[in-house]
A and B are shown apart, each in its own frame.
Chain A
Amino acid sequence: MRSDAEGEYVEYVKARLPRLRQAAYLLCGDAHRADDIVSGTLLALYRHWSRAAASNNLNAYVHRMLVHRYLDEKRLRWSRVVLTAPDGVDRASPEFDIDDRTDIESALRSLPSGQRAVLVLRYLCDLSVEETAGALHCSTGNVKAQTSRGLAALRPLLARIG
């Protein structure tokens, strides 16, 4: 990579790294796996830098890459994660601690992966509904439905924190 392009890559990555780490950690709930996801994403970003940097929205592009690595089950089947869950699937209510930060981590972990993914992409990574749909390869209607289900599940926590 030419040094000016590499300088831009380094600048971007250093600025963005904390947010990417937060996103990976909230998505998968495991620090080691989160590091793997972030490292893999950054290396792929290095390889694809000129294409990524020329995209319409670099942040959204990078978050899409990160989500793909999160969804990566057998490294072939990452997009097999289906975002819909049948109605009436019971989720055990999390035992909330007093510490707000631990609450949100536990609360997110208790959600189905599709709801967790849309909430992290929309409310931490600031992706639009369309960008979120693009990252998860689903319809915008699906994103909206998953968002409202996820928010409904988190509402008691948000109300308590106020």
Chain B
Amino acid sequence: MEDHEYESLSALLRTVDPPPTSVSVDAILDAGRRGARRRRVMATAAAASGIAIVLFGAVGAVALTRQGTQAPPSTASHKVSTTPTAIPSVTDPNAANCTIQQLPSPPGAMGDMMAADPTGRFQAGQTDLGDGNQGKPVLWTDGVPTLLTVPKAIMDTTYSINAVSSNGDLALSTASSAYRYHDGKFTKLSRLAGFSNNAPSGIAPNGDIVGWVDSDGSAFAAVVWPADQPGSVRKLATPHGRSAEAMAIDADGAIGGSLGDGGAPFVWSANGQGHELAVPSGYQGGMVFSLSGDWAVGWVGVKGSTQVVGARWNLATGNVNVYADQDEALAVNAHGDFVGGLGDSTGYLFRDGTFKDLPGPAYGSEVTPRSISADGKTIAGTAYSASSNAGSPNVIWHC
């Protein structure tokens, strides 16, 4: 690419003048300071059963400690370097005590883990051949990667891996279709009448897949594709037939997601009965990303902003905990331990009542944990580093 072309495009992009903004640095400072000061968010919300909900943001103290013990940044550190600095557990006093296992990539391709099963045995994702083309899906089994042969219809387009079960089954989608992978074979998921797009999101140990269907119009519906009835798809019941999304299914067949698109966190019991989960005052909207036994996790929205924060619900009592200083919670076990993080910095692990950081192998890695085991000690996910010599981004934390 020629220099003058670079200059032309750079200059041209810099002339773009976005329409007037509502972004206020002062408002962001206020929000940031409130978050840092907050030790306890006390709010009440009436659950459907009328039980008062007590909430607390448990992490104010942790955040203050973390920020209080680090030296203020100096401008001298803003230099470009290609070597990663020290492993974070040395410099981060709040790092969880974990060893990091970096998963090998399959030969000739860079793997990108998108899904992990709760047990920690299976992880799956897309691959990048390094020449602008996508490779075959990768499935790690007990730490060993294999590339999966896919039908031509999938190889001819772009796919994403959406979920993997504790039996090594997958849910995969392309722009036009979705598939279940079981026992070496890909089978297309059926369409629900009136909807043109299938979006699988979660898969149970028995192979049942949950997700939603939509069209180019505005309607969408939460559905399940049962493994034992190939070719069928069933809509999940919602109040007044409201649109909904299903995001996850647990080993008992309970399903979590939202009414609307994050309009309200919602759970369907294994018997198909659905109910909204509590959202405390000061918050609005929410979604369940993961559920196990009596626990569900995800996010709730901060009222009056587009910010979302982590939340955990006890499905037996209706209680909700909102973690105002944490990003969305991504995976939970039956003990109520959970992991989360949007991948900006460290991820987090909540276990034994405290939050710890989940660092990547290189300082400043962007961490997204995807699964947590029943004992809370095995966590799979990704840790991307800006440095090219940080090794595989696909990792398992042994905590």
Please report A residues at the B interface, Cβ cutoff 8 Å: 1-2, 4-6, 8, 10, 13-14, 17, 21-22, 24-26, 31, 34-36, 38-40, 42-44, 46-61, 64-65, 68, 74-80, 82, 84-86, 100-101, 104-105, 119-120, 123-124, 126, 130-131, 133-135, 137-142, 144-149, 151, 154-155, 158, 161-162
The answer to whether B130 and A142 have CB atoms under 8 Å apart is yes
Which residues of chain A come closer than 8 Å to B386, judged between CB atoms? 55-57, 60-61, 64, 130-131, 134-135
Number of A-B pairs whose CB atoms are under 8 Å? 233
The answer to whether A44 and B344 have CB atoms under 8 Å apart is yes
Main secondary structure of the interface of A (DSSP, over half): helix
The answer to whether A139 and B81 have CB atoms under 8 Å apart is no
The answer to whether A55 and B18 have CB atoms under 8 Å apart is no
Q: How far is the CA of A82 from the CA of B157 in the complex (A)?
A: 11
Which residues of chain B come closer than 8 Å to A140, judged between CB atoms? 130, 388
Which residues of chain A come closer than 8 Å to B345, judged between CB atoms? 48, 51-52
Given A43-B28, A130-B387, A145-B133, 4 other A-B contacts at CB below 8 A? A6-B29, A56-B82, A79-B368, A130-B82
Which residues of chain B come closer than 8 Å to A2, judged between CB atoms? 67-68, 72
CB of B244 to closest CB in A, whole Å: 13
Is there a chain A Cβ closer than 8 Å to B168's Cβ?
no
The answer to whether B72 and A46 have CB atoms under 8 Å apart is no
Q: How far is the CA of A109 from the CA of B63 in the complex (A)?
A: 40
Which residues of chain A come closer than 8 Å to B71, judged between CB atoms? 50
The answer to whether B128 and A138 have CB atoms under 8 Å apart is yes
Taking A57-B386, A61-B364, A140-B388 as contacts, is the C-beta distance between A101 and B25 under 8 angstroms? no
Which residues of chain A come closer than 8 Å to B63, judged between CB atoms? 47
Taking A40-B306, A86-B156, A123-B6 as contacts, is the C-beta distance between A53 and B22 under 8 angstroms? no
Taking A25-B16, A119-B9 as contacts, is the C-beta distance between A80 and B132 under 8 angstroms? no
A82 contact from B19, B126, B382, Cβ within 8 A = B126
Which residues of chain B come closer than 8 Å to A77, judged between CB atoms? 162
Q: How far is the CA of A104 from the CA of B13 in the complex (A)?
A: 7
Question: Across the two chains, which residue of chain A brings its CB closest to B161?
Answer: A80
Q: How far is the CA of A146 from the CA of B7 in the complex (A)?
A: 18
Stretch at the interface among B30-38, B187-195, B223-231, B273-281: B30-38
B132 contact from A25, A135, A146, A162, Cβ within 8 A = A146
The answer to whether A104 and B12 have CB atoms under 8 Å apart is yes
CB of B56 to closest CB in A, whole Å: 19
Question: Across the two chains, which residue of chain A brings its CB closest to B160?
Answer: A80
Can you give 20 A-B contacts (C-beta < 8 A)?
A2-B72, A4-B72, A8-B72, A13-B28, A36-B306, A40-B306, A42-B23, A43-B28, A44-B342, A56-B85, A59-B78, A79-B368, A82-B158, A104-B13, A123-B6, A131-B386, A133-B388, A137-B393, A142-B130, A155-B5
Q: How far is the CA of A105 from the CA of B16 in the complex (A)?
A: 8
The answer to whether B35 and A47 have CB atoms under 8 Å apart is yes
The answer to whether A76 and B247 have CB atoms under 8 Å apart is yes
Q: How far is the CA of A38 from the CA of B25 in the complex (A)?
A: 10
CB of A21 to closest CB in B, whole Å: 5
* 0/1 string, B35-76, CB within 8 A of A gives 1: 110000000000000000000000000010001101111110
A76 contact from B23, B110, B159, B289, Cβ within 8 A = B289
Which residues of chain A come closer than 8 Å to B85, judged between CB atoms? 56
Is there a chain A Cβ closer than 8 Å to B307's Cβ?
yes
CB of A138 to closest CB in B, whole Å: 5
Question: Across the two chains, which residue of chain A brings its CB closest to B346?
Answer: A51
In the A-B complex, the 9 residue pairs with the closest CB atoms? A145-B132, A53-B73, A46-B32, A141-B130, A25-B18, A134-B386, A31-B19, A124-B13, A5-B72
Taking A44-B342, A76-B289 as contacts, is the C-beta distance between A56 and B80 under 8 angstroms? yes
Q: How far is the CA of A70 from the CA of B343 in the complex (A)?
A: 13
Which residues of chain A come closer than 8 Å to B80, judged between CB atoms? 56-57
CB of B107 to closest CB in A, whole Å: 14
The answer to whether A17 and B23 have CB atoms under 8 Å apart is yes
Which residues of chain B come closer than 8 Å to A75, judged between CB atoms? 262, 287, 299, 308, 328, 342
B73 contact from A49, A78, A137, Cβ within 8 A = A49
The answer to whether A130 and B72 have CB atoms under 8 Å apart is no
CB of A99 to closest CB in B, whole Å: 10
Taking A6-B29, A64-B386 as contacts, is the C-beta distance between A38 and B130 under 8 angstroms? no
Which residues of chain A come closer than 8 Å to B81, judged between CB atoms? 56
A50 contact from B73, B114, B328, B387, Cβ within 8 A = B73
Which residues of chain B come closer than 8 Å to A126, judged between CB atoms? 10
The answer to whether A43 and B32 have CB atoms under 8 Å apart is yes
CB of A79 to closest CB in B, whole Å: 7
Is there a chain A Cβ closer than 8 Å to B271's Cβ?
no
Is there a chain A Cβ closer than 8 Å to B218's Cβ?
no
